[in-house]
Amino acid sequence: MKPYSTWKYFLLIAALAFGLLYAAPNLYGDDPSVQISLESGDPLPAEVSGKIAAALKDAGLTPSASGIENGQWVVRFSHAEDQLKAADQLKQELGRDYVVALNLASKTPEWLKAIGAKPMNLGLDLRGGVHFLLEVDIEEVRKKAVERILTEVPALLRKEDIRYTGRRENGDSAVMEFADAEHVDQASRAIAKAFAEYQVTPLPEAPLSLSIKLTEKEAKRIVDFAVQQNLTTLRNRVNQLGVAEPLVQRQGENRIVVQLPGVQDTTRVKDLLGATATLEYRAVADQDAYAAASSGVVPAGTELFYTRADRRPVLLKREVIAGGDNLVDAASTVDENGGPAVSVTLDASGAKRMFTFTEQNVGKPMAVLFKERQVVTSYNAKGEAIREHREVEEVISIASIRGVFGKRFQTTGLASKEAYDLALLLKAGALAAPVDIVEERTVGPSLGADNIRKGFSAAVLGLGLVVLFMVFYYRVFGLFAVSALLLNLLLVVAVLSLLQATLTMPGIAGIVLHMGIAVDANVLIYERIREELRGGAKPHTAIEAGYERAFLTIADANVTVLIGTVVLFALGAGPVKGFAITLAIGILSSQFTAIVGSRALAQLAFARRQLKEVPIW
């Protein structure tokens, strides 16, 4: 036999080392732990360490470890009961600026983490949890836009003294009618000048009419805005749930995926997702808010609120200048001096009231009040659910009025993080486009654990049967094939862990199926070797010919299976994606292990020996 290139042995040893290292984290298991972070996402302040230690001491708990891991404070315990107790205590003592979440923290040692080795990411069907797919009602958004055109355009025409004879809605555009061509012309120019975001076209079937709709860019922007707004709101709310690794992500044009591992109480989640938020622009009253707060006597015509950031009392006048439904857009930007600012756009009616108000109140402060209506579910002693409504009302911004403004204005004098947060909150409070839950998948923890156990036992039995059969049928060569298969499985687990691809139940099914198919490469090779031997070839020649001739067939077959998996991946619903990924990784690695791996073993065993016959049957 020709000697086998040394680099292939090295490659195999490297693959083995890689597989062992990156698959290893899955063996360590995990600790029940509590994970603490700031709701704002800022780095934790230094004093938190003392607070956490004090809280744990109060609860009489000794954690097995407590410290910062990946930017979050993680307190590990050896028992799940301690974890729950600690979480309750920490929630109470740290207050609402912190997110306290239950989690399972991997026991992977530091040196493995340092090279990026992590345990596999288990899908919701294996670890339990809820998955929601929400859809933002785009039709509603478009309808709102047409309504806006139908109020803003007539207002403009009246201001410009251009007379129109009628207005109506026509699908996703608004139609204005005029008495003669001259008016049509004037109106067309006036609208184009005042509203860059509207597209004005004459209606071919009615010559004295103008069709006005949003430009394509603007239409896309308002949909994006609606989805972004919902994303922001959902993220804020999910943070309140205290879930360790929540996922809130846009999917496609108008859908949002929410995944909350470990959460079981879907009623509570649905209530929280369905909460509504709005905001109000109001004048700040002149009276002393601190006095009102301490005495409890609120002056007539005002209401007492607190600021969100530092819980300062603020007295606001009862009248609402503009509400969330008047807010068209809010974005963080820079002012003319280059400082951070938030730019706000109001609709026509909001702009009109804002104009009247600011005209008379230059120099005075104006506040934004954020209101959220939530349904809170708690459980009484009998375990019955009690649902109650809760209003959260907080002042999120106070700024003095520098000049007279209406439709568009800026809030300046903010730090850049403040500007960003304020824009997000304003968006969240703008009248949200309605959201529907279009898909829900909840998996209880017992089913998740069952799935893992069943998947694992099926995999072990499948592997055992294949090993027995191969060794029984191909003897020593069967052992080579089995070694190659084991290396292949190790590589699949390692790559899945490294990529942090999600392992799902169909994914496990994919791995099990793959074990049956992966040995096919070796079967092809070994049958070929037997054939060559039957044809009278010398042992070493037969082995070489077997490997060489089968190579292309195996590659051809693997490519077609890969085509199937790529399509499957593109089809992409969560669990099936997991199946496609495991199968694809398996096929790619088997092309290497089944051919290079099993051949290297055959070389090591037989290359330097004289063979009278090949121990393949």
Closest distance to another protein from the beta carbon of 76 (Å): 27
Tell which positions 305-334 bind another protein, by CB under 8 A.
none
Site string for another protein, 120-149 (x = CB under 8 A): -----x------xx-x--------------
Is position 52 an interface residue for another protein (rule: CB under 8 A)?
A: no
> Among residues 68, 179, 437, 604, which is the contact residue for another protein, using CB under 8 A?
437
What is the distance between the alpha carbons of residues 420 and 417, in angstroms, rounded to a whole number? 5
Question: Which residues in 471-530 contact another protein (CB under 8 A)?
Answer: 472-473, 475, 505-506, 508-510, 512-513, 515-517, 519-520, 523-524, 527, 530
- Judged by CB under 8 A, the stretch of 23-31, 50-58, 163-171, 438-446 that binds another protein is 438-446
d(CA 507, CA 119): 16
Relative orientation angle of helices 6-23 and 445-499, to the nearest 10 degrees: 140
The residue with tokens 């031997």 is: 533
**Mask of contacts with another protein, 452-471, x by CB under 8 A?**
--xx-xxx-xxx-xx--xx-
601: which 2 tokens? 């073993």
CB of 479 to another protein, least distance (A): 14
3-state secondary structure 167-227: EEEECCEEEEECCCHHHHHHHHHHHHHHCCCEEEEEECCEEEEEEEEECHHHHHHHHHHHH
| Whole-angstrom distance, CA of residue 582 vs CA of residue 494 | 11
Q: At 430, list the tokens.
A: 């703008």
- Whole-number Å distance between alpha carbons of 51 and 54: 5
Closest to another protein by CB, 28 vs 469, is 469
Nearest approach in angstroms of CB 368 to another protein is: 31
How many alpha carbons fall within 13 Å on the CB side of residue 421? 15
Q: Could you write out the DSSP letters of every residue in 295-309?
A: H--PPTTEEEEEBTT
Dist. CA 146–CA 222, nearest whole Å: 12
Q: Which of residues 80-99 bind another protein (CB under 8 A)?
A: none
Q: Is 579 in the site for another protein (CB under 8 A)?
A: yes
Among 442, 479, 538, 541, binds another protein (CB under 8 A): 442
In this complex, which beta carbon is closest to another protein, that of residue 405 or of residue 526? 526
Helix (H, G, I), strand (E, B) or coil at 156: helix
Query: Residue 138: enclosing H or E segment and its boundaries?
Result: helix 138-159
- Between residues 279 and 435, which has the closer beta carbon with respect to another protein? 435
Query: Closest distance between another protein and the C-beta of residue 560, in Å?
Result: 5
Nearest-approach distance from CB 348 to another protein, in angstroms: 32
State the nearest-atom distance from the C-beta of 82 to another protein, in Å.
Answer: 23
Which of 172, 325, 418, 440 is the binder for another protein (CB under 8 A)?
440
Tokens 């009489």 correspond to what residue?
60
> Binding of another protein at residue 441 (CB under 8 A)?
yes
Closer of 9 and 473 to another protein (Cβ): 473
Helix (H/G/I), strand (E/B), else coil: 115: coil
Identify residues 361-400 at the interface with another protein (CB under 8 A): 383, 385
Count of residues interacting with another protein (CB under 8 A): 80
Q: Which is nearer to another protein, 461 or 604 (CB)?
A: 461
Nearest alpha carbon to residue 54 among 93, 84, 97, 101: 93
Nearer to another protein by Cβ, of 310 and 613: the residue is 613
Rounded distance, CA 177 to CA 187, Å?
10
Shortest CB 276 distance to another protein, Å: 15
Q: Which two tokens stand for residue 127?
A: 């670890």
Q: Are 278 and 425 a contacting pair, CB within 8 Å?
A: no
| 530-569 positions binding another protein, by CB under 8 A | 530-531, 534, 549, 552-553, 556-557, 559-568
